[in-house]
């Protein structure tokens, strides 16, 4: 099914997205918003997100995937990327999706840092958003910065640094600049204490530390959110080897498609 690339948002903050129209009528199917990871990870995840969007659209769910300002085909430069901006862009993208398909229900799927953005952008409630799927979510910004610094050092030098400086705060990672503003915001990023009061379902797909899941479950326990986990992960999308091998994690995509399609 052909896709519809679009520009949307304010003229001064022009965003690029790709809309996948639902391929069959399903009044119960939700609209789906895909939230990218950061930087090079968005490039590595691109194919999987495209395949996922196609799968969801084939199942009757319209999908919008988009690039934050300063990334992908959206306007702006690396230095324009910051967490608050990505949150605003997500809300803009949701409004665009809602304007196009006018659904009663929506699902957000956040990959990598997109997982944190999904939670942040929905804290005060988003029309129709009751279900979020967090795929390898980044919820501890300090740890994430450290891992970016290490990944960058390994990539550029070709050797493993086992003990990167404890205070290393990268100004770039894997081909992308990290502004001082983004760095500050990431240093403050921690797993949330509370989630959106409107949230009813939360899926976690992660091979990362249990601390992420523990933190999310703690935030969930006080509410009536139904939480599910997918742990059957044998390979990661997040590597150059996976990118160059055209790797698409079909098990995860099937899981997500099934979860989106569930009542």
Under the rule (CB under 8 A), what is the footprint of another protein? 2-3, 5-7, 14, 16, 18, 40, 43, 46-47, 71-73, 75, 77-78, 152, 154-160, 171-172, 174-177, 240, 243-246
- What's the min distance (Å) between Cβ of 42 and another protein? 9
d(CA 33, CA 47): 16
Q: Which is nearer to another protein, 177 or 227 (CB)?
A: 177
- What's the min distance (Å) between Cβ of 64 and another protein? 14
- What's the min distance (Å) between Cβ of 261 and another protein? 25
Q: Nearest CA to 35 among 94, 76, 105, 77?
A: 94
| Region of residue 17 (left: phi > 0; alpha: psi -120 to 50; beta: else) | beta
Q: Which is nearer to another protein, 7 or 104 (CB)?
A: 7
Q: Which is nearer to another protein, 2 or 165 (CB)?
A: 2
- What's the min distance (Å) between Cβ of 247 and another protein? 10
- What's the min distance (Å) between Cβ of 256 and another protein? 21
Q: Which is nearer to another protein, 14 or 88 (CB)?
A: 14
Q: Which is nearer to another protein, 156 or 214 (CB)?
A: 156
Q: Which is nearer to another protein, 125 or 175 (CB)?
A: 175
Q: Nearest CA to 236 among 40, 38, 48, 39?
A: 48
- What's the min distance (Å) between Cβ of 248 and another protein? 12
- What's the min distance (Å) between Cβ of 18 and another protein? 6
Q: Which is nearer to another protein, 17 or 128 (CB)?
A: 17
d(CA 167, CA 50): 37
């Amino acid at each position: 099914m052909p896709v519809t690339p679009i520009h949307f948002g304010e003229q001064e903050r022009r965003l690029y997205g790709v809309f996948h129209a639902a391929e069959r009528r399903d009044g119960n199917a939700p609209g789906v918003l895909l939230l990218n990871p950061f930087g090079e990870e968005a490039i590595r995840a691109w194919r999987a997100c495209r395949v996922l969007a196609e799968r969801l659209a084939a199942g009757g769910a319209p999908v919008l995937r988009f690039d934050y300002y300063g990334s992908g085909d959206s306007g702006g430069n690396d230095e324009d990327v910051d967490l608050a901006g990505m949150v605003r862009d997500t809300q803009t993208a949701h409004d665009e999706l809602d304007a196009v398909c006018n659904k009663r229900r929506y699902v957000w799927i956040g990959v990598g840092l997109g997982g944190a953005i999904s939670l942040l952008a929905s804290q005060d409630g988003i029309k129709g958003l009751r279900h979020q799927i967090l795929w390898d979510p980044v919820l501890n910004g300090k740890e994430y910065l450290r891992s970016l610094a290490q990944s960058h050092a390994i990539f550029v030098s070709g050797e493993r640094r086992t003990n990167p400086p404890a205070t290393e705060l990268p100004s770039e990672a894997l081909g992308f600049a990290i502004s001082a503003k983004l760095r500050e915001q990431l240093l403050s990023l921690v797993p949330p204490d509370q989630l959106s009061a409107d949230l009813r379902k939360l899926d976690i797909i992660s091979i990362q530390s249990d601390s992420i899941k523990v933190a999310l479950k703690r935030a969930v326990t006080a509410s009536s959110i139904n939480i599910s986990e997918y742990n059957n992960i044998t390979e990661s999308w997040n590597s150059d080897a996976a990118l160059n091998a055209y790797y698409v994690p079909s098990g995860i995509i099937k899981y997500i498609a099934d979860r989106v399609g569930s009542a």
